Amino acid sequence: MAKKVKITETVLRDGHQSLCATRMRYSQMEPMLEELDKIGYKSLEAWGGATFDSCLRFLDEDPWERLDNLKARLKTPIQMLLRGQNLLGYNHYSDDVVTRFVQKASKHGVGVFRIFDALNDIRNLKTAIDAALACPEKPEVQGCLVYTVSPVHNNDYFVDLSKKLVDMGVHSICIKDMSGLLKPYVAEDLVKKLKASLPDNIPVQLHTHYTSGFGSMTYLKAIEAGVDVIDCALAPFALDTSQPCTETMVATLEGTEYDTGLDRQAMTPISKHFLKVKQELINEFGLKGYFDVNPNVLDFQIPGGMLSNLANQLKEAGMENKYQDLLDEMPRVRKDAGYPPLVTPSSQIVGTMATFNVMTGERYKMVPKEFKDLARGMFGKTPVEVDHDFLTKTLKVAENEIITDIKAEDAKAHSFADFEKELHEKGFLNPTEEDVLSYALFPQVAEEFFKKHYAPMTAYKKA
């Protein structure tokens, strides 16, 4: 029986996040929304990830209004990437903030919630999954296997994790390979094991990046093994550190039992538009716009979007010649931290620690608070327990600061009412729930955005 492969298109989110620092404006998306909607994608990934922060910080856009505008013009389900208890920020939030955020995102138009935790700690996924499952709009709730390679991560580990996610009620499973580490034959084995272990009504989706050069080969072997959906980006925002190319994958599968049924020719004008957009972004923001494939990502495992940021930090410090030292240091720091998968926020935390080690010339001479928090359990349970002496002697973490009950810590976090009260104290008297949530995630950035867009502050009316 023919097994039609479905495609999630990432040009509106991960494509430009990976290649152009998430700088695409809604106005640059709008001209092609109707055409994208006609293609027949399984979903359009268009929200979440870094888009929320970027809208407020760089693009002078309200991310909630962007979502409203997308929803008004699209019938294809809008997909978002959500970091579980971190939501779209870099801290753990209280359960009521997580629940309200998910409810509002669903109401504004998110049709697929892709939910992951940087450490694959299912305790950090439960609140967001439960909230999404309870939404009256009935969105698809997708649980993620954050793919990485270490002495403790293997395909059996990920199959076991998938079963736990299904037990939590998710509708589908996504293999989230954020650094392009998943090798073609390993992907084939993993997909076969997942399909054999999960109920027939649970689709398996695969997300990868081209950073290592594996991308299209990995997709092909996964497709042959039975994967249901793949993530692709239209040509201008494909490859390098982004996803495999949509048009190429559609053409590859044409005339086979896996034929997507999508019209590749209809994608051409859309790609031409986004090629112009890419050049606009490169020119306006001084971006590189492309990144070399680097097979050594298999060793240092840094997600593609981070490589340029780390290199820039060294450049600004006049230490460009230390770049290879940094790549060599990353696996050592990751091992010390208990082999966390390197994805937001753990990738930034481990990357910053490695950078400090290289720049100071002395390991752990300067230790950021975030790295101590990661090691002591503030973000959840690390895949391997962090060495006690390293924790207490090297990082100087006190015994009573070591966390075992992450949900007890979440309960201490600011509640929605706390954030609302803060806004009132700052003179914003009538914030919407969406505004309170924006402030909860990015207080300083949101406050500056509000000052610019609402006047007078005491009335909190739109200017």
The kind and range of the H/E element at 449 are: helix 443-453
Average pLDDT over residues 279-296: 89
Residue type, 144: C
Average pLDDT over residues 73-94: 96
What CATH class does 297-410 carry? mainly alpha
Among 79-83, 117-121, 405-409, the minimum mean pLDDT is found in 405-409
Say if residues 206 and 168 touch (Cβ distance below 8 Å). Answer: no
Average pLDDT over residues 175-197: 97
Q: What is the CATH number of domain 6-285?
A: 3.20.20.70
Between vectors from CA 116 to CA 411 and to CA 281, what angle results, nearest 5°? 115
Name the more confident of 304 and 410: 410
Residue with token string 């093994």: 225
> For 349-375, how does the pLDDT look when each residue is reduced to its tens digit (9 = 90+)?
999 999 999 999 999 999 999 999 999
> For 385-395, how does the pLDDT look when each residue is reduced to its tens digit (9 = 90+)?
999 999 999 99
The kind and range of the H/E element at 316 are: helix 304-316
Among 158-167, 169-178, 249-258, 339-348, the minimum mean pLDDT is found in 339-348
> For 417-453, how does the pLDDT look when each residue is reduced to its tens digit (9 = 90+)?
999 999 999 988 889 999 999 999 999 999 999 999 8
312 confidence band (pLDDT: 50, 70, 90): low
> For 21-39, how does the pLDDT look when each residue is reduced to its tens digit (9 = 90+)?
999 999 999 999 999 999 9
Residue 29 makes CB contacts below 8 A (sequence gap 6+) with 12, 46, 70
Whole-angstrom Cα distance, residue 436 to residue 428?
10
Domain range 414-453, CATH architecture:
Orthogonal Bundle (1.10)
> For 48-76, how does the pLDDT look when each residue is reduced to its tens digit (9 = 90+)?
999 999 999 999 999 999 999 999 999 99
Question: Which residue spans of the chain are classified as CATH 1.10.472.90?
Answer: 297-410
Between vectors from CA 364 to CA 361 and to CA 367, what angle results, nearest 5°? 120
Question: Which residue spans of the chain are classified as CATH 1.10.10?
Answer: 414-453
> Tokens at residue 85, please?
């208890």
Whole-angstrom Cα distance, residue 17 to residue 82?
15
Give the burial string for 208-220 (b: 16+ CB within 10 Å, else e): bbbbbebbbebbb
Integer-rounded Cα Rg, in Å, for the chain is 22
The pLDDT mean for the chain works out to: 94
Task: Tell me what pLDDT residue 313 has.
Answer: 73
